[in-house]
Amino acid sequence: MEAFDTYQTPLSSRYASKEMAHLFSPANRFHTWRKLWLNLALAEKELGLAISDEAIEQMKANLHLDAKQFEIAAAEEKKRRHDVMAHVHTFGQVAPAAAGIIHLGATSCYVTDNADLIFIREALTLLLQKLAVVIDRFAKFAEQYRDLPTLGFTHFQPAQLTTVGKRATLWIQELLWDLRNIKRARDDLGFRGVKGTTGTQASFLTLFDGDHDKVEELDRRVTELSGFSYAYPVSSQTYSRKIDIDVLAPLASFGATAHKLATDLRLLANLKEVEEPFESTQIGSSAMAYKRNPMRSERICSLARHLMTIQQNALGTASVQWFERTLDDSANRRITLPEAFLTADIVLTTLQNVSEGLVVYPKVIARRISQELPFMATENIIMAMVKSGGDRQEAHEKIRVLSHEAAHQVKQLGLENDLIDRVRADPYFDPIKGQLDALLEPKSFIGRAPEQVDKFLAEWVRPALADNELQAALTKAGKAELNV
């Protein structure tokens, strides 16, 4: 019951994947700090500092914290009011041979900032893999419905026909841009490295008796041991908080994509043309038992709005960093970075779940087309009359009058659109009555939509997903299940 007595963020308690929730967990954070301290000790030993093999072995054997060590660290932090030093002392208790060299020459940001960069890179990788799966699922949907005509909407008013698959390519194209942006942010990410209290590396220069080459090699070696190809060439005490802006910008942009996509699905659900999955035991409303609310798409919109705003924190934080460091970034970033990635993770899982269970209702779509298509077909009818020897202006006037009569039936009397019945009943149109069915065939109004879908999938989607990393993610991906 203790877990229910205190507030827990729903991001981790209700929605997020185990992988993303673990990535930002205290256990993983402090485990990563210990790996960074080990990497620093290894590099310092390689470069000649007096660090014993026993110290290294004890550090390697105690990279993970148990419950007792968490209790010790909490007591130390309460006493010292310093989280990093609390964990330095805690690590030293289980690795006593290393107690005197843990954190040697470093400042707190050696572990906090470098760890954040590790978490950011791994989190971006998780998002890329999940986004690839979402794109793949929507691509299959687009291919399946490449040539199913549907009413297009501009201003949410009936417009020319498109296809269900072509509409999906509009969503996919934006998701592809998100894939590009997130990959770019990940691949551009560097390491803070070993820079010291104000970024001058003065403490390490002292440790190595003024040997600049060894200090540079220390920075390079720790960066390599930590799995990064390069470290930022200069820094203050922290890595520049502008990096956080660059990382959160593509996540915010993805939030906009997800919100637009989910909003389209919510509108389509209202039209009863396309619906998200709805389980047999699912309840849409506690009062209205018949309802099938699009709760998944609504959740996507709700969380996407949150995701879009998180970047403002990064912008504000970066703008107020005084000189070499100010601590007013710390508490904000403890919330901002995990929340951004947890939120993006949840949105992607929900999008995948939706994409894998979309239900299309062709008969409803056809009925709506039949209500609007007669008006759209009037130009084709006029052209057919002219080709049959009629007068264009006379045909136009005939159609205009019949169209207004049909519109009166629809708008004033609430009846069906009977324009074509009126055309069939008017002797003037006898020359083309045998062509009316062909003139009203919906597929004659969709232009190159099916071909556009085929070309887009072949030339843009499949190449984007051909990357080995993304192919591996697609191979191991199962169906997305929601906790709630």
Classify 162 as helix, strand or coil.
Answer: strand
DSSP 273: S
In angstroms, the CA 221 to CA 215 distance is 10
Task: Say whether 285 is catalytic.
Answer: yes
Cβ(178)–Cβ(259) below 8 Å? no
Distance CA 104, CA 207 (A): 9
Q: What separation in angstroms does the CA of 216 have from each of 211, 212, 221, 315?
A: 9, 6, 9, 31
Distance between CA atoms of residues 92 and 95, nearest Å: 5
Q: Are 40 and 104 in contact (CB under 8 A)?
A: yes
DSSP state of 24: T
155 given a catalytic annotation: yes
Q: Which two tokens stand for residue 228?
A: 């990064």
Ordered DSSP codes for 11-45: IIIII--HHHHHHTSHHHHHHHHHHHHHHHHHHHH
Query: Is residue 449 within 8 Å of residue 433, measured between CB atoms?
Result: no
Maximum C-alpha span of the chain: 105
**Which position among 285, 319, 388, 444 bears the catalytic label?**
285
Please choose, from the candidates 259, 246, 349, 350, the residue with its C-alpha nearest in 3D space to the C-alpha of residue 308.
Answer: 259
The Cα-based distances of 257 to 126, 128, 174, 260, 272 in angstroms read: 18, 15, 6, 5, 23
Catalytic residue ranges:
155, 285
